[in-house]
Amino acid sequence: MIEIASLCKRYGSFTAVRSLDLVVSAGELFGFLGPNGAGKTTTMRMIAGILQPTSGSVKIAGHDVRTNPLEAKRALGFIPDRPFIYEKLTGMEFLRFAAGLYGEHGAEVDRRGMELLALFDLDNWRDELVESYSHGMRQKLIIASAFIHRPPVIVVDEPMVGLDPKSAKILKELFREYTKRGHTVMMSTHTLEIAEGMCDRIGIMQRGELVACGTMEQLRGATGNDDALEDIFLRLTGDNVARELVEVLNA
């Protein structure tokens, strides 16, 4: 599980994340929403230990990322929004390397790598260099690399971008199955239908703050309307889009 307490991140005078408190339990699929620049990616990078918080703490599976980083990271699979893959490695080599970072190697890693590649229709590409992969194929390889060491917690930033419908469906099922087995998934997305259909709970960030958090029912209850997630999201993050649009077009 993920426990975030009073998490804060400042860049000079700009506050990207403002005193965030959040617990994502074991077996939960948590959707993390918010407009561009709301602080989602900064939060996720702090969870992964890539960025250091200005204050506050993050615990993964009970281990503090700051004081016990190795144990915390061992329990985590992180998929960034703009992942880097070594262009001159083959898909299988990259998976072996990713597993090696978590101290795993040998025939078991190869078997699991093949299974994951087959799951995402990449098995015929296993020995091709990553430079020849399309954007979607790279995304699938990165997702496979996050699952290769079977971490109890997965944190994933915008996983559906670039995926074909079949792969998107597989990924949704994979996340559901994973959480059913007691693992935790925290996912940021801009596709509100996906968040509404998949996630157990949804958190909405706005200007570095968590402005709403709960199940769909709880969110509807909080806004007082029987709305879809899109309406709730727009109400919480500013619904003057249509007016501004007309003003811009008339300008």
Partner 1 sequence: MREPGALVGAWQLLAPKWQMARHRVRKHQPGDLRRSVVVGALGVAFWAAVFVISLKLLRYFRSAEDIGDLLAGKLLSMILLSFMSILLLSNTIAALSNFFLARDLDQLAAAPVKPWALYRARLAETAMHSSWMVALLLLPLIAAFGTAYRGGFVFPLFALLVFVPFLCIPAAAGSAVTLLLVNVFPARRTRDLLSVITALAVCGLVVLFRAARPEQLARPEGFQNFMQFIAALDAPSSPWLPSEWVSDALMNFLQGSASWEPLARLWGTTALLVAIGGSLHARGWARGFSQAQEGASRRTVPGSKQPLLERLLSPLNPTRRQLVLKELRVFARDSTQWSQLVMLAVLLVVYVANVRYLPLSGEGMTALLRNVIPFLNLALAGFVLASIAARFVFPSVSLEGRALWLLRSSPFSMRDLLWAKFWVGAVPLLVLALILVGATNMMLGVRTFVHIVSLAAIVAMVFPLTAMALSYGTFYPQFDSENAAQIPTSFGGLLFMMSGIVLIGAVAYLTGRPAARFLVAEHFGWARDPVTMVLPFVVALVLCIAATVAPLMMARRRLDGLERG
Show contacts with partner 1 in window 131-170 (CB under 8 A): 131
**Residue 67, Cβ density class (10 Å: 0-12 exposed, 13-18 middle, ≥19 buried):** exposed
58-97 footprint of partner 1 as x/- string (CB under 8 A): -----------xxx-xx-x-x-x--xx-xxxxx--xx--x
Give the whole-angstrom CA distance, residue 184 versus residue 199.
11
Which three-class secondary structure state does DSSP give residue 60? strand
Q: Are 166 and 19 a contacting pair, CB within 8 Å?
A: no
Structure tokens at 117: 């590649």
**Residue 51 touches partner 1, criterion: CB under 8 A:** yes
Show contacts with partner 1 in window 2-31 (CB under 8 A): 11-12, 14
Structure tokens at 160: 């559906």
What minimum distance in Å lies between the beta carbon of 36 and partner 1?
14
What minimum distance in Å lies between the beta carbon of 104 and partner 1?
5
**Residue 106 touches partner 1, criterion: CB under 8 A:** yes
Contacts of residue 116, Cβ cutoff 8 Å, sequence gap at least 6:
95, 144, 147, 148
**Residue 129 touches partner 1, criterion: CB under 8 A:** yes
Instruction: Catalog residues that contact partner 1 under the rule CB under 8 A.
Output: 11-12, 14, 45, 48-52, 69-71, 73-74, 76, 78, 80, 83-84, 86-90, 93-94, 97-98, 100-109, 129, 131
